[in-house]
Structure 1
Amino acid sequence: MYSDVSIAGDPLELPHLLPPAPQHPSSVAEFAGLARSIAADRTQWAPQVRYDTATRWYARLRTGPGYEVWLLSWLPGQGSGLHDHGRSSGVLTVLDGTLHERALTARGETRRTLTPGQQRVFAPGYVHHVVNESLEGAVSLHVYFPGLTEMTPYACTPGARTPAQA
Protein backbone atom coordinates (compact mmCIF):
# COMPACT_ATOMS: atom_id res chain seq x y z
CA MET A 1 0.00 0.00 0.00
CA TYR A 2 1.28 3.45 -0.90
CA SER A 3 1.07 6.46 1.38
CA ASP A 4 1.37 10.15 0.69
CA VAL A 5 4.83 10.09 2.24
CA SER A 6 6.01 7.36 -0.11
CA ILE A 7 4.63 9.23 -3.15
CA ALA A 8 5.54 12.87 -2.41
CA GLY A 9 8.25 12.43 0.18
CA ASP A 10 8.27 13.52 3.77
CA PRO A 11 6.16 16.70 4.08
CA LEU A 12 8.68 18.00 6.63
CA GLU A 13 11.23 17.90 3.81
CA LEU A 14 9.17 20.22 1.59
CA PRO A 15 12.11 22.24 0.20
CA HIS A 16 12.85 19.52 -2.35
CA LEU A 17 9.46 20.28 -3.92
CA LEU A 18 9.99 24.04 -4.20
CA PRO A 19 11.62 25.71 -7.19
CA PRO A 20 15.07 27.11 -6.46
CA ALA A 21 15.16 30.71 -5.27
CA PRO A 22 16.14 33.00 -8.15
CA GLN A 23 19.66 34.36 -7.95
CA HIS A 24 18.59 37.60 -9.67
CA PRO A 25 15.32 39.58 -9.80
CA SER A 26 13.02 38.94 -12.73
CA SER A 27 9.88 41.00 -12.00
CA VAL A 28 9.12 44.62 -11.15
CA ALA A 29 8.26 43.58 -7.58
CA GLU A 30 11.57 41.76 -7.22
CA PHE A 31 13.52 44.76 -8.57
CA ALA A 32 11.70 47.03 -6.08
CA GLY A 33 12.56 44.51 -3.36
CA LEU A 34 16.22 44.52 -4.43
CA ALA A 35 16.26 48.32 -4.14
CA ARG A 36 14.64 48.16 -0.68
CA SER A 37 17.15 45.56 0.53
CA ILE A 38 20.11 47.67 -0.64
CA ALA A 39 18.54 50.80 0.87
CA ALA A 40 18.11 49.05 4.23
CA ASP A 41 21.83 48.22 4.43
CA ARG A 42 23.64 51.56 4.71
CA THR A 43 26.98 49.74 4.85
CA GLN A 44 26.50 48.79 1.18
CA TRP A 45 26.06 52.31 -0.14
CA ALA A 46 26.83 55.08 2.40
CA PRO A 47 30.65 54.74 2.27
CA GLN A 48 30.54 55.18 -1.52
CA VAL A 49 28.54 58.44 -1.60
CA ARG A 50 30.38 61.47 -2.96
CA TYR A 51 29.11 64.97 -3.72
CA ASP A 52 30.26 66.97 -6.74
CA THR A 53 29.57 70.70 -6.88
CA ALA A 54 29.61 70.73 -10.69
CA THR A 55 27.15 67.91 -11.41
CA ARG A 56 25.22 65.04 -9.90
CA TRP A 57 27.59 62.30 -8.81
CA TYR A 58 26.82 58.68 -9.67
CA ALA A 59 28.38 55.22 -9.44
CA ARG A 60 27.25 51.80 -10.56
CA LEU A 61 26.87 49.60 -7.48
CA ARG A 62 25.89 46.31 -9.06
CA THR A 63 25.01 44.57 -12.30
CA GLY A 64 23.24 41.34 -13.01
CA PRO A 65 21.73 39.64 -16.02
CA GLY A 66 19.74 42.40 -17.65
CA TYR A 67 19.89 45.03 -14.88
CA GLU A 68 22.07 47.70 -13.27
CA VAL A 69 21.96 49.39 -9.86
CA TRP A 70 23.18 53.00 -9.63
CA LEU A 71 23.84 55.26 -6.64
CA LEU A 72 23.37 59.02 -7.20
CA SER A 73 23.98 62.04 -5.01
CA TRP A 74 22.34 65.41 -5.43
CA LEU A 75 23.49 68.71 -3.92
CA PRO A 76 20.89 71.47 -3.49
CA GLY A 77 19.71 72.70 -6.89
CA GLN A 78 21.05 69.74 -8.88
CA GLY A 79 18.58 68.07 -11.21
CA SER A 80 18.31 65.53 -13.98
CA GLY A 81 16.62 67.62 -16.63
CA LEU A 82 13.49 66.36 -18.31
CA HIS A 83 14.26 62.89 -19.76
CA ASP A 84 13.15 59.33 -20.36
CA HIS A 85 15.13 56.09 -19.98
CA GLY A 86 14.89 54.71 -23.50
CA ARG A 87 13.77 51.08 -23.47
CA SER A 88 14.57 50.61 -19.77
CA SER A 89 12.11 50.33 -16.91
CA GLY A 90 13.26 51.36 -13.47
CA VAL A 91 12.87 51.79 -9.76
CA LEU A 92 13.99 55.02 -8.08
CA THR A 93 14.40 54.83 -4.29
CA VAL A 94 15.32 57.84 -2.12
CA LEU A 95 17.94 56.92 0.48
CA ASP A 96 18.68 60.28 2.13
CA GLY A 97 17.29 63.79 1.81
CA THR A 98 14.36 64.92 -0.31
CA LEU A 99 13.91 64.90 -4.07
CA HIS A 100 11.14 66.46 -6.13
CA GLU A 101 9.82 64.78 -9.25
CA ARG A 102 7.86 66.33 -12.09
CA ALA A 103 6.45 63.75 -14.51
CA LEU A 104 4.68 64.27 -17.82
CA THR A 105 1.92 61.79 -18.55
CA ALA A 106 -0.89 61.49 -21.07
CA ARG A 107 -3.15 63.11 -18.45
CA GLY A 108 -0.85 66.05 -17.85
CA GLU A 109 1.82 66.88 -15.32
CA THR A 110 2.23 65.38 -11.84
CA ARG A 111 4.53 66.51 -9.06
CA ARG A 112 5.73 64.46 -6.11
CA THR A 113 7.97 65.01 -3.13
CA LEU A 114 10.07 61.90 -2.46
CA THR A 115 11.56 61.25 0.97
CA PRO A 116 13.74 58.39 2.30
CA GLY A 117 12.20 55.00 1.67
CA GLN A 118 9.82 56.18 -1.04
CA GLN A 119 10.03 54.51 -4.43
CA ARG A 120 8.92 55.35 -7.96
CA VAL A 121 8.52 52.59 -10.51
CA PHE A 122 8.45 53.51 -14.19
CA ALA A 123 8.21 51.88 -17.60
CA PRO A 124 9.76 52.81 -20.95
CA GLY A 125 8.37 56.12 -22.19
CA TYR A 126 8.08 57.64 -18.70
CA VAL A 127 9.25 61.26 -18.93
CA HIS A 128 10.29 63.04 -15.74
CA HIS A 129 12.57 65.59 -14.13
CA VAL A 130 14.07 64.97 -10.68
CA VAL A 131 15.64 67.78 -8.68
CA ASN A 132 16.91 68.46 -5.17
CA GLU A 133 15.00 71.60 -4.16
CA SER A 134 16.03 71.35 -0.50
CA LEU A 135 18.97 72.90 1.33
CA GLU A 136 20.52 69.50 2.18
CA GLY A 137 22.20 66.87 0.03
CA ALA A 138 20.19 63.87 -1.16
CA VAL A 139 21.04 60.31 -2.19
CA SER A 140 19.03 57.98 -4.41
CA LEU A 141 19.28 54.44 -5.72
CA HIS A 142 18.22 53.55 -9.28
CA VAL A 143 17.62 50.07 -10.66
CA TYR A 144 17.27 49.87 -14.46
CA PHE A 145 16.13 46.80 -16.38
CA PRO A 146 17.39 46.22 -18.93
CA GLY A 147 20.52 48.17 -18.07
CA LEU A 148 20.38 51.85 -18.99
CA THR A 149 21.76 52.47 -22.49
CA GLU A 150 20.02 55.72 -23.40
CA MET A 151 18.34 58.74 -21.86
CA THR A 152 16.40 61.00 -24.19
CA PRO A 153 16.42 64.66 -23.06
CA TYR A 154 13.16 66.58 -23.60
CA ALA A 155 12.27 70.21 -24.09
CA CYS A 156 8.91 70.87 -22.52
CA THR A 157 6.36 72.99 -24.29
CA PRO A 158 2.92 73.66 -22.82
CA GLY A 159 0.63 70.67 -23.45
CA ALA A 160 3.24 68.57 -25.23
CA ARG A 161 6.55 66.85 -24.75
CA THR A 162 9.14 67.03 -27.47
CA PRO A 163 12.57 65.37 -27.59
CA ALA A 164 15.25 68.05 -27.37
CA GLN A 165 17.29 68.64 -30.50
CA ALA A 166 20.92 67.58 -30.22
Structure 2
Amino acid sequence: MTASLGIRTFSDEQLLRITRLFAGNDDLLTRVDPDATERVRIELDTTAYLEVWLMVWPSGTTTGWHDHGGASGAFHVVRGGLTQETWRGGRLTESDLREGDEYSFTPGLVHNMTNIGDDLALTVHAYSPGLSEMTPHVWRAGRPEPIIT
Protein backbone atom coordinates (compact mmCIF):
# COMPACT_ATOMS: atom_id res chain seq x y z
CA MET A 1 0.00 0.00 0.00
CA THR A 2 1.39 3.44 -0.91
CA ALA A 3 0.76 6.70 0.89
CA SER A 4 -1.32 9.47 -0.67
CA LEU A 5 0.77 12.07 -2.51
CA GLY A 6 -1.84 14.83 -2.01
CA ILE A 7 -1.43 17.98 0.05
CA ARG A 8 -1.93 17.23 3.75
CA THR A 9 -1.35 20.66 5.28
CA PHE A 10 -2.31 24.09 3.99
CA SER A 11 -0.76 27.48 4.73
CA ASP A 12 -2.87 30.52 5.58
CA GLU A 13 -2.38 31.85 2.05
CA GLN A 14 -3.40 28.52 0.49
CA LEU A 15 -6.58 28.43 2.59
CA LEU A 16 -7.38 32.01 1.56
CA ARG A 17 -6.82 31.14 -2.12
CA ILE A 18 -9.19 28.18 -1.77
CA THR A 19 -11.92 30.38 -0.26
CA ARG A 20 -11.46 32.93 -3.08
CA LEU A 21 -11.68 30.18 -5.69
CA PHE A 22 -14.96 28.84 -4.29
CA ALA A 23 -16.34 32.34 -3.62
CA GLY A 24 -15.87 33.18 -7.31
CA ASN A 25 -18.07 30.29 -8.46
CA ASP A 26 -21.09 31.76 -10.30
CA ASP A 27 -23.25 28.76 -9.30
CA LEU A 28 -22.71 29.40 -5.57
CA LEU A 29 -25.93 31.39 -5.16
CA THR A 30 -28.03 28.54 -6.59
CA ARG A 31 -27.23 26.57 -3.40
CA VAL A 32 -28.74 29.26 -1.13
CA ASP A 33 -32.30 29.50 0.18
CA PRO A 34 -32.92 33.28 0.19
CA ASP A 35 -35.69 32.82 2.77
CA ALA A 36 -33.51 31.02 5.34
CA THR A 37 -34.19 32.10 8.92
CA GLU A 38 -31.35 30.19 10.61
CA ARG A 39 -27.64 30.00 9.85
CA VAL A 40 -26.95 27.18 7.38
CA ARG A 41 -23.70 25.39 6.54
CA ILE A 42 -23.49 23.86 3.06
CA GLU A 43 -20.64 21.49 2.24
CA LEU A 44 -18.84 22.50 -0.97
CA ASP A 45 -15.92 20.06 -0.89
CA THR A 46 -14.27 17.64 1.55
CA THR A 47 -11.07 15.63 1.43
CA ALA A 48 -9.17 13.82 4.15
CA TYR A 49 -7.23 17.06 4.88
CA LEU A 50 -9.55 19.91 3.87
CA GLU A 51 -13.17 21.00 4.26
CA VAL A 52 -14.81 23.85 2.35
CA TRP A 53 -18.19 25.24 3.41
CA LEU A 54 -20.62 27.92 2.30
CA MET A 55 -22.19 29.65 5.31
CA VAL A 56 -25.56 31.35 4.91
CA TRP A 57 -26.22 34.04 7.53
CA PRO A 58 -29.73 35.52 7.83
CA SER A 59 -29.80 38.94 9.49
CA GLY A 60 -28.83 38.81 13.18
CA THR A 61 -27.62 35.20 13.20
CA THR A 62 -24.48 34.41 15.15
CA THR A 63 -22.10 31.52 15.75
CA GLY A 64 -21.74 32.04 19.47
CA TRP A 65 -18.27 31.90 20.97
CA HIS A 66 -16.30 28.83 19.79
CA ASP A 67 -12.96 27.50 18.61
CA HIS A 68 -12.08 25.07 15.82
CA GLY A 69 -10.01 22.58 17.78
CA GLY A 70 -6.82 21.69 15.94
CA ALA A 71 -7.93 23.10 12.59
CA SER A 72 -6.52 26.16 10.85
CA GLY A 73 -8.98 28.07 8.74
CA ALA A 74 -9.86 30.96 6.50
CA PHE A 75 -13.00 32.61 5.26
CA HIS A 76 -14.02 35.03 2.52
CA VAL A 77 -17.09 37.28 2.71
CA VAL A 78 -19.05 36.76 -0.51
CA ARG A 79 -21.99 39.01 0.36
CA GLY A 80 -23.23 41.12 3.25
CA GLY A 81 -21.56 42.27 6.44
CA LEU A 82 -20.46 40.53 9.60
CA THR A 83 -18.81 41.45 12.86
CA GLN A 84 -16.13 39.15 14.20
CA GLU A 85 -15.12 39.27 17.84
CA THR A 86 -11.85 37.48 18.64
CA TRP A 87 -10.20 36.60 21.93
CA ARG A 88 -6.44 36.28 21.65
CA GLY A 89 -3.75 36.76 24.25
CA GLY A 90 -6.24 37.98 26.83
CA ARG A 91 -7.55 40.70 24.50
CA LEU A 92 -10.94 41.15 22.88
CA THR A 93 -10.93 42.67 19.41
CA GLU A 94 -13.81 43.38 17.05
CA SER A 95 -13.69 43.66 13.26
CA ASP A 96 -16.37 44.59 10.77
CA LEU A 97 -16.12 42.48 7.61
CA ARG A 98 -17.70 43.33 4.26
CA GLU A 99 -17.94 41.77 0.82
CA GLY A 100 -14.47 40.82 -0.41
CA ASP A 101 -12.88 40.82 3.06
CA GLU A 102 -11.09 37.69 4.19
CA TYR A 103 -9.49 36.34 7.33
CA SER A 104 -7.28 33.38 8.22
CA PHE A 105 -6.52 31.84 11.60
CA THR A 106 -4.44 29.22 13.33
CA PRO A 107 -5.70 26.53 15.72
CA GLY A 108 -6.90 27.82 19.07
CA LEU A 109 -8.61 31.02 17.88
CA VAL A 110 -11.71 31.70 19.98
CA HIS A 111 -14.21 33.90 18.16
CA ASN A 112 -17.83 34.85 17.56
CA MET A 113 -19.32 36.02 14.26
CA THR A 114 -22.63 37.82 13.70
CA ASN A 115 -24.46 39.05 10.61
CA ILE A 116 -24.84 42.76 11.37
CA GLY A 117 -26.73 43.63 8.20
CA ASP A 118 -30.40 43.64 7.32
CA ASP A 119 -29.87 41.19 4.44
CA LEU A 120 -28.54 37.68 4.00
CA ALA A 121 -24.74 37.37 4.28
CA LEU A 122 -22.68 34.63 2.64
CA THR A 123 -19.18 33.42 3.51
CA VAL A 124 -16.96 30.63 2.19
CA HIS A 125 -14.83 28.83 4.81
CA ALA A 126 -11.92 26.40 4.43
CA TYR A 127 -10.52 24.29 7.29
CA SER A 128 -7.44 22.10 7.47
CA PRO A 129 -7.55 19.51 8.76
CA GLY A 130 -11.31 19.13 8.75
CA LEU A 131 -13.44 20.13 11.71
CA SER A 132 -13.20 17.03 13.85
CA GLU A 133 -13.89 19.14 16.94
CA MET A 134 -15.39 22.52 17.77
CA THR A 135 -15.60 23.71 21.33
CA PRO A 136 -18.38 26.12 22.31
CA HIS A 137 -17.49 28.84 24.81
CA VAL A 138 -19.56 30.97 27.14
CA TRP A 139 -18.71 34.57 28.04
CA ARG A 140 -18.00 34.61 31.77
CA ALA A 141 -16.10 37.03 34.00
CA GLY A 142 -14.93 39.14 31.06
CA ARG A 143 -13.60 36.30 28.93
CA PRO A 144 -14.76 33.27 26.92
CA GLU A 145 -14.54 29.96 28.79
CA PRO A 146 -14.89 26.55 27.13
CA ILE A 147 -18.02 24.60 27.84
CA ILE A 148 -16.82 21.16 28.88
CA THR A 149 -19.38 18.37 28.67
What TM-score comes out, normalization by structure 1 length? 0.79
Match of 1:96 in 2: 79
User: Which of the numbers 76, 85, 104 marks the counterpart of 2:59?
Assistant: 76
Contact 1:89 1:124 in 2 (8 A): yes
Residue 26 to residue 122, structure 1, CA distance change in 2 (3 Å)? closer
Distance apart, 1:39 and its partner CA = 1.3
Aligned-pair identity (%): 31
Match of 1:27 in 2: 11
Match of 1:121 in 2: 104
What TM-score comes out, normalization by structure 2 length? 0.87
In structure 1, C-alpha distance between the alignment counterparts of 2:73 and 2:116, rounded to whole Å: 22
Distance apart, 1:162 and its partner CA = 1.1
In structure 2, C-alpha distance between the alignment counterparts of 1:75 and 1:150, rounded to whole Å: 25
Distance apart, 1:37 and its partner CA = 1.6
Q: Which runs of 5+ in 1 are unaligned?
A: 1-21
SS state at 1:153 partner: strand
How many equivalent residue pairs?
A: 143
In structure 1, C-alpha distance between the alignment counterparts of 2:52 and 2:107, rounded to whole Å: 17
Alignment of 1:1-166 (within 5 A): 26-43=10-27, 45-50=28-33, 51-53=35-37, 55-166=38-149
The amino acid across from 1:112 in the alignment is S
Between the two structures, name the one with larger relative contact order (CA 8 Å, sep ≥ 6). 2
CA-based RMSD:
1.8
* Structure (1 or 2) with the larger CA radius of gyration: 1
Q: Which runs of 5+ in 2 are unaligned?
A: none
Distance apart, 1:29 and its partner CA = 1.2
**Consecutive aligned runs of 4 or more in structure 1 exceeding 6 Å deviation:** none
In structure 2, C-alpha distance between the alignment counterparts of 1:155 and 1:137, rounded to whole Å: 26
SS state at 1:58 partner: strand
Deviations 1:59-80 (A, max 9, x none): 1101234000000101111100
In structure 2, C-alpha distance between the alignment counterparts of 1:128 and 1:34, rounded to whole Å: 21
